[in-house]
A and B are shown apart, each in its own frame.
Chain A
């Protein structure tokens, strides 16, 4: 299976709260998992990325948690801010296929002031 499933489709969080977005995959050949943030009228921008041999990676307010056995990974945004309101995409790279990424359908995050 070449799909990456992502949930929820949309998320509303209060300022200062924690935003959690989940992704799941079937293909064990996926070998690299980045998260992207996209604002209207802009291209997706890299937030943070992880390899499957690492269970957690943190960069500032953004943390990826990775569960290799469950084939799931999630993005946590701590202390969510109105400026974080955007669409978030998880992605997975098909190993041995160059830079060929499969993207989740996206989560629209709204952070209320």
Chain B
């Protein structure tokens, strides 16, 4: 089975711009979660989507949003980028229940 695929791998954006990140989950996984990873804050939960509905949301401002499509693919959008948004953004998919997250290799976002 193919793993979780995230595109693009690297992005450089300017403050004030917006960005969209894409994630294709493992086939059959209906839950897709997004995490932000930084050296200072570690891995922080952004949100989870399940069957096209946002099921959970972390403690991030409304500039961070996402969606999930009927094929379980997901996108994450960050508007009005700030320097502090520079991070590795990780997508993870999983089955329901007591199932672990399976992570992609992330999108490295740099805001200048």
Cβ–Cβ contact A98 & B98, under 8 A: no
From A49, A102, A106, B100 is in contact (CB under 8 Å) with A49
Chain A contact residues (Cβ within 8 angstroms of B): what range?
A: 20 to 34
- Tell me the bound Cα distance from A46 to B90 in angstroms: 14
Beyond A44-B90, A49-B100, whether A102 also contacts B45 by CB under 8 A is: yes
Cβ–Cβ contact B103 & A43, under 8 A: yes
Within 8 A of A (CB), among B2-44: 4, 31, 33, 35, 42-44
Q: Which residues in A have their C-beta under 8 angstroms from that of B55?
A: 97-99
Closest to A46 in B: B100
Interface of B is mostly: strand
Closest to A89 in B: B43
- Indicate if B56 sits at the interface (CB-CB under 8 A): yes
Chain B contact residues (Cβ within 8 angstroms of A): what range?
A: 20 to 34
Closest to B54 in A: A98
As a 0/1 sequence over residues 68 to 101 of chain B, the CB contacts with chain A under 8 angstroms (1 = contact) are: 0000000000000000000000101010101111
Cβ–Cβ contact B101 & A101, under 8 A: yes
| A-binding residues in B (CB < 8 A) | 4, 31, 33, 35, 42-45, 48, 50, 55-56, 90, 92, 94, 96, 98-106
| B-binding residues in A (CB < 8 A) | 31-32, 34, 36, 41-46, 49, 51, 89, 91, 93, 97-106
